[in-house]
Amino acid sequence: MRRYLKFIILTLVAAAVLWWFGRGLDWASVRAAIGRSDWRLIALAILIVWTTYFVRALRWRALLAPLTESSLRELFAATTVGFSAVFLIGRTGEVVRPTFLPLRDPRVRPSAAFVTIGVERIYDMVAVVVLFAVNLIWFRPPGGSDAVAAYARVREAGVVLLVAAAAGIFALLIFRRYSRQVIEWCEAKLTRAPRLLKRAGGLLTHLLEQVAGALGVLVSARALALTVGLTALLWGIIAVANWLVLRAFGLPFGATETLFVLGWALVGSLVPTPGGAAGAFHAATAAGLIFLGIPRDEAAAISIVLHLVVFAPALVFGLYYFLQSDVSLERLRNLASSDARDEQRRDETGATLARRASAQT
């Protein structure tokens, strides 16, 4: 019930933001701007966005490698189904991807899929922050003193985000280095804990083990180079797709302006409203374009097309793989219970070893 209530609330938020975004627009001008756009460039942008799902699948396989083997085909299927869910129901649909993969590839446990998705989000967050913050070094704002003052605040925020990202990476490296000690300390504290607390602690230590294993890519030079390289390739492709859409509307933007608009769009995409951050994405993207001197109606037209280009292409593959798969609540329950049994066996093994060690001492 709570899940449905949350979805209803987010849908109402999306509707409110879309209303706020659309009020005062001259929709005839918006339609005219869309009609004047070069649909050949937009079609090319869609083709390019499709390649990002393959690159994401390659990176996901590299992140899973320290934990388990995986099939590139099934990773691609899960990626497209997951991004289709994001487009349809918003950011809450991100749980579909790590849930769907174990149904297609039994070698991948749900815990490993979820942990690696978390690591993937870290990669993407750092990539976006670095792109946006570094781009601000060369970016020159248009307009007079008011634009310069607003840009100064944006630049300060970019620097703060860059420092925060660097601190986060450092913290992860420290955890990866001392993860064994941290996990052993947690297990020792849980030895004499009540059964319920011990059960919850067992889940926590198992999660920490999975995180530490997934973070193995951060200490393996080869794996780190591979995942960082794939992340750079991914966001380079996304930037090119955004640039093509901007060029389709006749905007003479280069790399710095494109990355500036991309940064605004990504901020909007973080809002977990249905329809792929509908409303928030449009408003944030249009705000970035208006800052660059684009008229409001044209900025709205560009944000509408860009939203569809970025989020909608996953549906082509996602619906195919979803309909092809034998997905049912029963299979999901069996998968969850299987994972729970594995967790219980690990807890019982750990408790037995602890008792033996205690008896020996």
- Does residue 317 share a domain with residue 332? no
Q: What would the DSSP string read from start to end of 256-297?
A: HHHHHHHHHHHHHHTS--HHHHTTHHHHHHHHHHHHTT--HH
Q: What is the pLDDT of residues 300-316, one digit of tens each?
A: 999 999 999 999 999 99
* 289 contacts 265 by C-beta, under 8 angstroms: no
**Class of residue 307 by CB neighbours under 10 A (exposed 0-12, middle 13-18, buried 19+):** buried
- Does residue 333 share a domain with residue 212? no
| Virtual torsion, Cα 319, 325, 329, 334, nearest 10 deg | -140
- Does residue 253 share a domain with residue 355? no
- CA geometry: angle at 231 spanning 237 and 123, to 5°? 135
Q: Which amino acid is at 206?
A: H
Domain that holds residue 355: 328-361
- Does residue 307 share a domain with residue 205? yes
- Does residue 227 share a domain with residue 357? no
The pLDDT, as a whole number, for residue 315 is: 93
How many CB atoms sit inside 10 A of residue 299's CB? 25
Kindly report the length of the chain: 361
* 179 contacts 212 by C-beta, under 8 angstroms: yes
- Does residue 186 share a domain with residue 39? yes
DSSP-derived 3-state class of residue 107 = coil
- Does residue 231 share a domain with residue 111? yes
- Does residue 285 share a domain with residue 212? yes
- Does residue 347 share a domain with residue 213? no
Query: pTM for the whole thing?
Result: 0.77
Q: What is the pLDDT of residues 1-21, one digit of tens each?
A: 565 676 677 777 777 877 788
- Does residue 333 share a domain with residue 290? no
Closest listed residue to residue 14, CA positions, set 265, 266, 283: 283
- Does residue 255 share a domain with residue 186? yes
The pLDDT, as a whole number, for residue 312 is: 92
- Does residue 334 share a domain with residue 310? no
Domain count, the chain: 2
